[in-house]
Amino acid sequence: MRILVIEDEKKIASFIQRGLKEENFAVDLAFDGEQGLFLAETNPYNLIVLDIMLPERDGISICRELRRKAVRTPILMLTARDAVADKVSGLDSGADDYMTKPFSFDEFLARVRSLLRRSSGSASNVLRVQNLELNQLSRRVFRSGKEITLSAKEYALLEFLMLHADEVVTRTMISEQVWNEDFDSFTNVIDVHIKHLRDKIDIDETPSLIHTVRGRGYCLPANPA
Ligand code: CA
């Protein structure tokens, strides 16, 4: 899951970024409105956190522009002001939810999860594919009931494969959705993480749950072969 945070107050931006990274999200930051709009139009984000008062271009106009261009990514707006008029214009411009600064990270995270749940159309926080189970709230992973300990990136990679079970996911899709802007496409970092993930989730000599689709990418079948 990849999140864009458009916020010019660097302290708040890095506080949000740090917290989200601890929750295994890939996070990109933009410190002004133009850069934020550019990133939002260029990359496939699962969620955008958008401050209203920004240099170059304000949050309300960014939100309108994205909706006008049919970008439907959920948007959580932030503002220091809590005037009713601001909330109304924020929501009117196409934002999905609204938070007034300062806020607690716990409440922020709860709203992020709720927006992600709503947009994925799933009511539960548990993903199940074959005998794998992944709990998005506790971030615990089980295979056949036995818990598996994953690194943050391995977890994010597995979550992405499970959300796209039965689909071929390409290295480009993985780099765009599981890594952030700092991803270096000239390395084999994805293949290395897939290998580590297989080492952890596969049992004995059985064929890997994660199939390699030659020349295209990877696939996690919804049902055993
Ligand atoms: Ca601001």
Task: Identify the pLDDT of residue 118.
Answer: 83
Q: Give the DSSP per-residue string, 141-205.
A: EEETTEEE---HHHHHHHHHHHHTTTSEEEHHHHHHHHS-TT--TTS-HHHHHHHHHHHHH--TT
Task: Identify the pLDDT of residue 205.
Answer: 64
How far does residue 52's CA lie from ligand 1's centre (Å)? 6
Q: Strand order of the sheet with strand 132-135? A: 126-129, 132-135, 140-143, 146-148
pTM, two decimals, is 0.71
pLDDT in tens, 85-126: 777 787 888 899 989 888 999 999 999 999 998 887 666 778
Determine the distance from the C-alpha atom of residue 126 to the mean position of all C-alpha atoms in its chain, rounded to a whole number.
Answer: 16
Q: Is 183 exposed, middle or buried (0-12, 13-18, 19+ CB in 10 A)?
A: middle
How far does residue 6's CA lie from ligand 1's centre (Å)? 9
How far does residue 67's CA lie from ligand 1's centre (Å)? 21
Residue-level pLDDT, tens digit, the chain, 225 residues: 899 999 999 999 999 999 999 988 999 999 999 999 999 999 889 999 999 999 999 999 999 999 999 888 999 999 876 667 777 787 888 899 989 888 999 999 999 999 998 887 666 778 899 999 998 878 899 998 899 999 989 999 999 999 999 999 999 889 888 887 777 777 789 999 999 999 999 977 678 899 999 999 999 999 887
How far does residue 71's CA lie from ligand 1's centre (Å)? 22
